[in-house]
Amino acid sequence: MLTKIKLALVASLSLLTGAAGIAAAHGGGDGGGTGNHKAELLAKYDANGDGKLDDAEKAKMKADFQAKRAVRKAERLAKFDTNKDGKLEPAERQAMRAERSAERFAKLDTNGDGMLSKDEFAAGAEMHGHGGHGGHFRGAPGKGR
């Protein structure tokens, strides 16, 4: 019984953390880092102004995140579910991934030459919170990996 409770707690925390991560990644913002984002979330959901989120405030935040995910899912289905069966088949998922990859690449390719320079790659890593460190980039493609 205690193991089931522990598993439920871990799963709940994972979902909440994942929701916060998704919100951080898709919430727009100014890319100012997690501290700023946490402050924004606290300002938005701390209804009683005590500086922390109680269970009801967390539930409101979770409900908002779930609603946003539902809207994004409906948008993806409307755009990529070509056979209109209400789910994405492997080929439809691949089309979605290809479009998203192309959009990400275009965003990183700031000079529009169809290639990522080391500076563009580093700027993209910075933008996504990787800091450009940790061995994620070792030079030209095919080298260092």
Nearby residues of 68 by Cβ (< 8 Å), 6 or more positions away: 23, 26
**Token output for 86:** 């209400």
The model's pLDDT over 40-89, given as tens digits with 9 standing for 90+, comes to 999 999 999 999 999 999 999 999 999 999 999 999 999 999 999 999 99
Per cent of the chain over pLDDT 90 is 55
* DSSP letter string, the chain: -HHHHHHHHHHHHHHHHHHHHHHHHHS------HHHHHHHHHHHH-TT-SSS--HHHHHHHHHHHHHHHHHHHHHHHHHH-TT-SSS--HHHHHHHHHHHHHHHHHHH-TT-SSS--HHHHHHHHHHTT-TT-SSS--SSTTS--
Task: State pTM to two decimals.
Answer: 0.49
Residue 86 or residue 140, greater confidence: 86
Nearest Cα to 110, choosing from 99, 122, 98?
A: 122
Whether the predicted pLDDT of 5 surpasses 80: no
Lowest mean pLDDT among 59-63, 65-69, 110-114, 128-132: 128-132
Mean pLDDT taken over the chain? 78
Give the best-scoring range by mean pLDDT among 13-22, 123-132, 135-144.
123-132
